[in-house]
């Protein structure tokens, strides 16, 4: 990892991959550096973004691309998960054709994970692949979806069912864009940061845990007020993701630990039809279940598990009413991460060390779900009472 300084914008660089390596630059105000960081591309650029992000950042990004002598077109899409669909993929591809883009033209994904996944997928299939630049503007996209090369869309039949592994040529993370991110969206990204700490880096987890314990209702303000901590946490998370995907691009083994809390979380999202929880919120719920299961199955020390559970309990969460252990378990068995008919769980041996496990009993899984749902309901009653 190298530090680059230019003008008043300090950037940290993390390289991802062993062949076709690409850089992730992280900094505050790094959008100012887009012009000189662009990899060599053809003459045209299409910026794909959504309405919320376009209003705030599209003029700056388009300007920076023009300064790099590119002809710039943009496509502004409706915000939200529904945009990650065949219909909008067609819209992006049609715009690329109409704009006369070639195989050398660059697609710039400016926005959260929805825009990143959709535009990334479009770049991967347009004329069998054209250059891609990711400019993630949500915390979740900065620490997770923009790094690692997974792109895709949802089908009517399920989430992320069509997609590709396709690496960008550049990821530019500007921490300043988080200023305008709604607090709840910020929290969802914070959840992914907690995940990296729990599975891979105890010191990162401890730093974040302390923020969560002190400012559970003001995570965004607390992190923005401490730019050093924010930048350190994002950089560590990106480094962890880079290390894991470099070792296991196609999710054969090690990359699976990134799914910590996700098998449970996906079931909660699906059973509430993606309307109640943001992904990160469901992941926190799922991480509590996974931590309880780690203790129940004898892996994680009970006291350590209890501490993590107490901290996760402070994370702001929608109500869990209506979720039940058995339907959740049935839903989990439909997960695409099933192997040979067995559910694979990511569990903790200790804080900072995750393992994959296929040998836990149904009874233990149901108990970990039940305890978590009861705990969440009690926390909610306590807040109201």
Ligand X SMILES: NC(=O)c1ccc[n+]([C@@H]2O[C@H](COP(=O)([O-])OP(=O)(O)OC[C@H]3O[C@@H](n4cnc5c(N)ncnc54)[C@H](O)[C@@H]3O)[C@@H](O)[C@H]2O)c1
Residues within the interface to ligand X (CB under 6 A): 50, 52-53, 56, 79-81, 84, 111-115, 117, 137-138, 140-141, 144-145, 148, 150, 160, 177, 180-181, 185, 188, 279
Tokens of 167: 């690496």
In whole angstroms, the minimum distance from the beta carbon of 151 to ligand X comes to: 6
* Exposure letters 272-298 (e unless 16+ CB within 10 A, then b): beeebbbbbbbbbbbbbbbbbbbbbbe
In whole angstroms, the minimum distance from the beta carbon of 220 to ligand X comes to: 11
In whole angstroms, the minimum distance from the beta carbon of 82 to ligand X comes to: 10
HSE-CB of 86 using CA atoms within 13 angstroms? 6
Q: How many helices (H) and strands (E) does the chain have?
A: 14, 12
* Active-site residue identified among 259, 269, 288, 357: 259
**H-type alpha helices, 128-200:** 139-140, 183-200
Q: Which is nearer to ligand X, 177 or 235 (CB)?
A: 177
CB atoms within 10 A of CB 4: 14
Q: Which is nearer to ligand X, 121 or 126 (CB)?
A: 121
* Active-site residue identified among 128, 336, 363, 381: 128
Active site residue 52: no
Parallel, antiparallel or unpaired: strands 170-174 and 132-136: parallel
Tokens of 174: 């500007």
* Active-site residue identified among 236, 266, 292, 299: 266
Q: Of 248, 318, 309, 230, which Cα lies nearest the Cα of 282?
A: 318
Q: Which run of H or E residues covers position 53?
A: helix 51-67
Q: Which is nearer to ligand X, 84 or 276 (CB)?
A: 84
Question: Distance between CA atoms of 383 and 379, rounded to whole angstroms?
Answer: 6
In whole angstroms, the minimum distance from the beta carbon of 256 to ligand X comes to: 13
- Helix 302-312 with 202-214: angle, nearest 10 deg: 50
Q: Which is nearer to ligand X, 117 or 209 (CB)?
A: 117
Active site residue 150: yes
Read off the DSSP letter of residue 339: B
Q: Which is nearer to ligand X, 91 or 370 (CB)?
A: 91
* Active-site residue identified among 239, 255, 276, 292: 255
Rounded to 5 degrees, φ, ψ at 108 are: -110, 115
In whole angstroms, the minimum distance from the beta carbon of 50 to ligand X comes to: 4
* Active-site residue identified among 52, 241, 299, 376: 241
Share of the chain residues as helix, strand and coil, in percent rounded to the nearest 5: 55, 20, 25
Q: Which is nearer to ligand X, 171 or 289 (CB)?
A: 171
* Active-site residue identified among 279, 292, 299, 376: 279
In whole angstroms, the minimum distance from the beta carbon of 71 to ligand X comes to: 25
In whole angstroms, the minimum distance from the beta carbon of 152 to ligand X comes to: 7
Active site residue 262: yes
Active site residue 232: no
Edge-to-edge strand list for the sheet holding 22-27: 2-6, 9-16, 22-27, 170-174, 132-136, 106-111, 44-50, 71-77
* Active-site residue identified among 33, 239, 262, 276: 262
Q: Which is nearer to ligand X, 79 or 318 (CB)?
A: 79
Please list the active-site residues.
128, 150, 192, 241, 251, 255, 259, 262, 266, 279
């Amino acid at each position: 990892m190298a530090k680059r300084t230019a003008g008043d914008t300090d950037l940290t660089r993390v390289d991802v991959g062993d062949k076709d390596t690409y850089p992730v630059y992280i900094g505050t105000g790094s959008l100012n550096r887009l012009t000189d960081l662009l990899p060599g591309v053809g003459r045209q650029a299409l910026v794909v973004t959504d309405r919320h992000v376009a209003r705030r950042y599209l003029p700056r990004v388009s300007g920076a691309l023009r300064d790099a002598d590119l002809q710039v077109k943009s496509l502004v899409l409706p915000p939200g998960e529904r945009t990650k669909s065949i219909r909008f993929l067609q819209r992006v591809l049609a715009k690329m054709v109409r704009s006369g883009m070639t195989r050398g033209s660059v697609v710039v994904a400016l926005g959260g994970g929805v825009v990143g996944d959709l535009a990334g997928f479009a770049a991967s299939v347009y004329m069998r692949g054209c250059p891609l630049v990711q400019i993630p503007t949500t915390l979740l996209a900065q620490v997770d979806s923009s790094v690692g090369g997974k792109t895709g869309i949802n089908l009517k039949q399920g989430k992320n069912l069509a997609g590709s592994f396709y690496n960008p040529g550049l990821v530019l993370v500007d921490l300043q864009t988080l200023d305008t991110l709604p607090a709840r969206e910020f929290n969802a990204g914070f959840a992914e940061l907690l995940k990296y700490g729990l599975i891979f880096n105890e010191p990162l987890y401890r730093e974040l845990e302390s923020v969560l314990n002190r400012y559970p209702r003001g995570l965004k303000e607390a992190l923005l007020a401490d730019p050093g901590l924010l930048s350190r946490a994002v950089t560590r998370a990106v480094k962890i993701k880079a290390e894991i995907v470099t070792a296991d691009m196609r999710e054969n083994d090690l990359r699976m630990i990134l799914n910590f809390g996700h098998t449970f979380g996906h079931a909660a999202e699906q059973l509430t039809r993606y309307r109640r929880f943001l992904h990160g919120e469901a992941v926190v719920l799922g991480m509590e279940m996974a931590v309880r299961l780690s203790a129940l199955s004898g892996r994680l020390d009970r006291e350590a598990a209890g501490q993590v559970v107490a901290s996760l309990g402070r994370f702001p969460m929608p109500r869990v009413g209506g979720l039940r252990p058995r339907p959740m378990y049935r839903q989990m068995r439909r997960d695409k991460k099933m192997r040979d008919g067995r559910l694979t769980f990511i569990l903790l041996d200790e804080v900072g060390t995750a393992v994959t496990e296929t040998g836990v009993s149904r009874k233990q899984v149901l108990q970990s779900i039940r305890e978590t749902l009861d705990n969440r309901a009690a926390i909610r009653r306590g807040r109201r009472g």
